[in-house]
Amino acid sequence: MTQPEQNRIDPDLPFAVTRRDPLGIFLTGCNRKARALGLRPTMRLTDARASVPELVTRTANPEAERQLLQEMARFGERYAPWIAIDDSDPAQGDGGLWLDMSGGTHLFGGEKALMTDVGRSYQVFRCTRRLGLADTPAAAFAAARYAPGAGIPSLLQSGATRQAVAGFPLDALRLVPATIRVLNRLGFRQIGDLYPVPRASMTIRFGPDVMLRLDQILGRHREHLAFEHSPRIYEVGHVWPEPLGTADSIERAVQVLLWRLCQTLRGNGIGLRRLGLRFQRVNNMTVSLISATSAPCQDETHLMRLLRDRLPGVDAGFGIEAIQIRAFQTQRLCPEQGSLTDLPDDATDPDACHRLIDRLAGRLGTHSVYRFARCQSYLPERIPVRQPYPGVSPEKSDSKELPAAVPLPVPRPIRLIQPAEDIEVLSFDADKPRQVRWRRLVLQAASVQGPERLMREWWRDFHLSPWDHRSGRRDYYRFDDHQGHSLWLCRVSGKQTASRWFVQGWFEGPPP
C-alpha cells in the first residue's frame, strides 16, 4: 500500500487492521509478523492485545480497500481483460483478484513465467501477494491461500485438480465457518475426505452449499464471477496546426469529428445519450457545449442537426486550435426491425419521434417538452403534473408509467387560470353570485351551478398561516352569463378571514 512516509508502518512490528461491529472490535488483516506471533483475523482486539502488547492497529477503511482493489484490477488488465474482484469475506481482511487467463498464458511465456511476472509487477502495490493458478476459479482461490509453502506461487497442474486440492483444508471451500466447524467435528479435515461421501446425504445434512462448492472447485459446476470492466471512453479530438476562425470551418471540423465518433459507436453497437464538445482557443481558454438525446443515437446527421443551432454560440475568439468530442453518456443500442408492412406510416417510427423530441428539447430546453401526469389532490391546480417526455432527461427513470386517467365526477373547466384572479361579486342570489365584476366587465348570471366544496389535504401546507387564502375551504360555482362567459368561480373562506372570490378557469360552454 502506498502511504505517506509518516503513516508508514515498520514491517518488523506486528500490525493489524481492526473492524468494529456490534459485538466488539475484531482484527481483520494481520501482517506477517503478527501472524507469526499467533494473531489471526476474526480475533478480538482485546485478546490480541493481551498476547501481543506492542501490536499496532489501524481502523479498517472498506471504501479505500475497495478502491485499491479496483486499482489493482485495472493494473491487471495488462494480463487479461477478464478480471474479477473477490471481496466476499471482508472479515478475513484480505482481498483477491481473479484473472481469467484461459488461452492466454503462452503470451507471457507459459504459466510459470506468467506467475513470476504477475508477482513481480504487483510489487508496486506493496502488499503481501499470494498467487495460485488452477483450472477453476475456486481451485485457484484455494491454491493461492491454502497451498503448502506460504508465499510461493502455487501452480496446480491442469487436469489434476482433484488430486491437488484433496489435501487442502476445508476452509479452502469458502463455506460458512459454522458448517466447517461441524464438518471438522464429524471428522472431515481435508477436501479429499468429502470425495467418497454420497451427495444425497451431504445435501440433506448441510444443504446444497457444500456440494456446490465442491463442484465448483472440481470444475463440475461453473462459477460466475463479477468481472470488472472499466467503462470505455468514446472520444475523438483533433488539433489543427492553423487555428479555425470562421463558423463554417468549425462546423465542418465538428462534422468530421462527429462522423469519426459515430463510426466507432456503430462498430461497438453503442448509442450516444449525452455529448460534450470542448473547443480550445489559441489563448488557452476553452468553450464547451453539451447536448443530449432522448434515445441512444449513432446518427451523425441527427447529432449535427442538434448542434447546428448551438454552434454559432461558440465564441471562437482569435481562433480555435483543438476540438474534442466526448460521449459523456452512452447506452447499448439494439437494432430494431422496421415495420414489415409497406404502409408509409412515419408515426410508428420511434426513432423519428425521438429525433423530433431531441430537436425541440435542444432548442427550447429539456423541461419544455412534457406529458401530462396526475397528482392525487383535491385542489384543481395541483392535479396536473408535468412529466418529462420519456427519455428527455437522462437522469430520470424512463420506465415510469403514467397513472391511468380517472374520469372526474363533475366536469372540469377546459382552461385554468394560474394563479387565480380576483373577482368582485356585486350582488348575491341566495348565497350564489348574481352579478360579478371581472376585468372591468359587469356580468349578469344566466345560470349558476354549485357549490362544490373542495379543501386542501390536511397533511399538506403546514407552513400556511390561517390567513392565507390557500388554506381556506373553497366553494366552486359554475357561472354562465348571456354574453358567452362561462366561468369557474371560487369562494375561499378561511376561519378568521372574510371570504374572497376568484376566477379559476372557464368552461367550454354552458352546462347541458
Give me the residues that bind another protein (CB under 8 A), please: 344-348, 352-353, 355-356, 359-360, 363-365, 367-372, 374, 380, 383-384, 386, 389, 402, 404-405, 407-408, 411-419, 421, 439, 446, 480, 482-487, 505-510, 512
In angstroms, what is the minimal distance from the CB of 313 to another protein? 15
Helix ranges (DSSP H) in 58-122: 62-75, 110-121
Burial 186-208 (b: 16+ CB within 10 A, else e): eebeebeebeeeeeeebeeebee
C-alpha grid cell, residue 471? 388554506
Return the closest-CA partner of residue 386 out of 367, 366, 404, 362: 367
Which residue's CB is nearer to another protein, number 26 or number 502?
502
- Euclidean distance between CA atoms 139 and 326, whole angstroms: 42
On whether the CB atoms of residues 326 and 257 are closer than 8 A, the answer is: no
Which residue's CB is nearer to another protein, number 58 or number 415?
415
- Euclidean distance between CA atoms 171 and 89, whole angstroms: 12
Angle at 72 between CA 66 and CA 78, to 5 degrees: 150
In angstroms, what is the minimal distance from the CB of 330 to another protein? 25
Which residue's CB is nearer to another protein, number 330 or number 486?
486
In angstroms, what is the minimal distance from the CB of 26 to another protein? 58
Q: Is 98 exposed, middle or buried (0-12, 13-18, 19+ CB in 10 A)?
A: buried
- Euclidean distance between CA atoms 220 and 211, whole angstroms: 10
Which residue's CB is nearer to another protein, number 112 or number 412?
412
In angstroms, what is the minimal distance from the CB of 402 to another protein? 7
Measure CA of the first residue to CA of the last residue in the chain; give whole Å. 82
In angstroms, what is the minimal distance from the CB of 306 to another protein? 12
In angstroms, what is the minimal distance from the CB of 373 to another protein? 9
The residue assigned the cell 373577482 is: 423
- Euclidean distance between CA atoms 82 and 231, whole angstroms: 13
Return the closest-CA partner of residue 168 out of 140, 130, 196: 140
How far, CA to CA in Å, does 297 sit from each of 16, 87, 210, 414?
Answer: 52, 37, 48, 38
In angstroms, what is the minimal distance from the CB of 291 to another protein? 16
Which residue's CB is nearer to another protein, number 279 or number 507?
507
Which residue's CB is nearer to another protein, number 58 or number 371?
371
In angstroms, what is the minimal distance from the CB of 500 to another protein? 18
Which residue's CB is nearer to another protein, number 232 or number 363?
363
C-alpha grid cell, residue 329? 453518456
Which residue's CB is nearer to another protein, number 57 or number 504?
504
Which residue's CB is nearer to another protein, number 184 or number 301?
301
- Euclidean distance between CA atoms 128 and 125, whole angstroms: 9
In angstroms, what is the minimal distance from the CB of 250 to another protein? 23
- Euclidean distance between CA atoms 463 and 461, whole angstroms: 5
